[in-house]
Amino acid sequence: MIYRFANCLLDSERRELRVDGAPVHVEPQVFDVLLLLLENRDRVVGRDELIDAVWGGRIVSEATLGARIWSARHAVGDTGNTQAVIRTLPRRGFRLVAPVALDEAERDSPAGPDEGGERVSRPTDDGATEAGAAAIVPATIGPATPGPGTVRSRPASPLRRAMAAVGALLLLLAIGTVGSGHLWGPRIERASPERMAYPLPDKPSIAVLPFANLTSDAARDFMGEGLTESLVNGLARNPFIFVVAHSATADHADGSAVARRVAEAFGVRYVIEGSVRRSDGTVRVTTELVDALGGSVVWSERYRRPARTFLALSEEITAEIARTLDVRLTYGTEPSSGGTLSLDAWAAYVQGREAYLEFSETGNARAREHYRRALAFDPDYAEAIVALAKTHFVELARLPAEEWGGVLARIEDLRRQAERIAPRMPQLFDLRSLLALTKGDYDLALKEAEAMAALYPNGPESHYVLGRMLFFAGKYRRAIEALETAERINPHNRASYMSHLAFSHLALGRLDTATAIIETIVADWPDYSAGRAYLAIVYQLAGRGPEAREQAELLPRVAPLMTMRTVMLRFSPLRDRGFADRIMEAARAAGIPGTS
């Protein structure tokens, strides 16, 4: 079947895509995405359906799916701003909206020797496009200049290239746009402070969109994710910058959320976006820093590095951004940040983290194996060492107290190992804080949490760790302040933040506020295992016994690990024993299964 849409032709049998008659090379998964949307153009294709069809049901990240949608748009000359071909429907999926004509018989002639099947606008090593000067000739003259995805065809000869270059120069001189600063990219729609979900911070504020993976090898999807997280972590160490957590922007990976939308969603002025491509042992990275309020690109750069040095690139990019924003750098003086330069170690670490976040016994066991594999690739990977220690902490919830000694000894060994490598790594403060809490040393636990927040002022986890320790220490008002800061930095990872926030309000007698927060958790994060147990507790305290028992009766089915023992372990560290007893009594009265 041949599908004609916009100025494109897609041949499903030959698996060819042509734009303005010229062949365009796309990755197989990108072609499958386009074909699926074309075949189902009369309806919305959900994310799960798309993943089942293209990846065969294999688990893939939002960043991976978003990168394929971005590449599909890029291939057909569409953008996330215009969405003239592929439209994103938030929380529903995607739909191909351009008019489509079908032709079962016609076949175009195969590509000639000059065409070669390559994407015309792919950058070369020096940053120019393969089409040479002809790449800057706009396809149309209008209020918005086409972006790089709108380059349509390869000139057939050097003479045509020269003529196109002269024509482009004359056109630019005629319309007087030389030196405007917005020549090659699309017009950027300005963000409005009035529409922002949060007030702008009083310092430079940044959201980093996931870097799109343009490499055909799907196994390398983690490269874009790794660079994104590493860049965010580097920026977050600087107290003079406010940066949104990397996981918060995952839903915006498909490019449908332009700088304006991202800035307004997170209350920031600047947005960073880019892409990663690997080939023949070399990694190419493009990135740009957009001033969403000013509606302009304030900095952009292309990098070409050996793959083995890929993860070190984030420090260079971070330094460039800091210089562009004219802010001080306060990181990079330590002998080790605790990270790794090994792509294999990083990939194993990412797999371990995904398994750990399942919050299950089997997930925890898999996470441990992945972290050990990461350390086999890089024994000095301190982040993986601390993550491995966290899997042992999970064990404590399933062991009687008399068996804790051996597990805590293993955690202490891992803590000392990480300290020798990266003594000021933020995650290490969290680990030491947890160890102090298990020993009932609230002062030391709080001291470590406060040191983490001072070292890592823009990290949501540092404020969460501080809020958690303030909660356990009985300093509820300060806990609320820290937890609200964590939520502000990462509004998309709020379930654990909000549960401590709810119980801090509850401890201060604000039962209605606590109930409303936990109801929000259950509504927005139905898979959060503790949510319904907490809802049963606050309903019981509010005198809503039948509703409390209804929530408790659901636990064996929706969260079988949430028992009275689990509730006891979660609240037993509270210094405020009277409040802890109230929680346990309400849990028993609500009928949470098991014994404590």
Q: What is the pLDDT of residue 17?
A: 93
Which ranges constitute the DSSP H helices of 7-46?
28-39
E-assigned strand segments in 128-265: 205-208, 212-213, 242-243
The pLDDT assigned to 483 comes to 92
Query: Element (H or E) spanning 469, and its range?
Result: helix 460-472
Instruction: Quick: pLDDT tens for 199-257.
Output: 888 888 899 888 877 776 654 556 777 778 778 877 877 777 888 887 677 666 554 44
The answer to whether the CB of 328 falls within 8 A of the CB of 238 is yes
8 Å CB contact between 261 and 80: no
Q: What is the pLDDT of residue 278?
A: 78
What DSSP element (H or E) covers 303? strand 296-306
Residue with the larger pLDDT of the pair 173 and 432 = 432
Counting every residue written for the chain, the total comes to 596
Residue 495: per-residue pLDDT: 73
Q: In this predicted structure, what is the pLDDT of residue 311?
A: 67
Mean pLDDT (whole number) for 463-470: 94
CA 109 to chain centroid, in Å, comes to: 43
Note the pLDDT tens digit of each residue in 254-275: 544 478 888 888 889 889 888 8
**CA-angle at 517, arms to 516 and 521, nearest 5°:** 115
| Token pair belonging to 525 | 């994060």
Structure tokens at 559: 């969260």
Q: Percent of the chain beyond pLDDT 70?
A: 76
Q: Is the pLDDT of residue 120 over 70?
A: no
Round to whole Å and give the CA distance between 427 and 386: 7
Q: What CA–CA distance (Å, rounded) separates 390 from 369? A: 13
Q: Which two tokens stand for residue 365?
A: 């066991």
Residue 12 to residues 248, 405, 477, Cα–Cα distance (Å): 37, 63, 61
Question: Tokens 């990181």 — which residue?
Answer: 331
On the 0-12 / 13-18 / 19+ scale of CB atoms within 10 A, 519 is middle
| pLDDT band at 34; cut points 50, 70, 90 | very high
Interatomic CA distance for residues 270 and 247, integer angstroms: 17
In the predicted model, is pLDDT for residue 187 greater than 70? no
Between residues 404 and 391, which one has the greater pLDDT?
A: 391
d(CA 452, CA 564): 32
How much is the pLDDT for 198? 84
**Residue 326: its pLDDT value, please?**
59
Q: Looking at per-residue confidence, does 304 or 450 come out higher?
A: 450
CA pseudo-torsion sign 542, 544, 547, 548: positive
Distance spanning both ends of the chain, measured CA to CA: 64
Phi-psi category of residue 304: left, alpha or beta, with phi > 0 → left and psi -120 to 50 → alpha: beta
- Weakest-pLDDT range from 6-15, 358-367, 404-413: 358-367
What pLDDT score does 213 carry? 77
Q: Distance (Å, rounded) from C-alpha 433 to C-alpha 365?
A: 23
Report the pLDDT value the prediction gives residue 327, as an integer from 0 to 100: 61
pLDDT tier, 299 (very low <50, low <70, confident <90, very high otherwise): confident
Determine the Cα–Cα distance for residues 360 and 87; give it in Å rounded to an integer. 36
Q: What is the mean pLDDT of residues 390-418?
A: 88
Work out the average pLDDT over 190-194. 86
Among the listed residues 73, 58, 66, the one whose alpha carbon sits nearest the alpha carbon of residue 90: 66
SS3 state of residue 405? helix
Please give the residue that has the higher pLDDT: either 86 or 309.
86
User: pLDDT averaged over the chain?
Assistant: 77
Q: What is the pLDDT of residue 180?
A: 30
| Cα–Cα nearest to 32, from 212, 209, 216, 211 | 216
pLDDT surpassing 50 at residue 352: yes
**What integer pLDDT is reported at residue 64 of this predicted model?**
61
* Count of beta carbons in the 10 Å neighbourhood of residue 413: 13
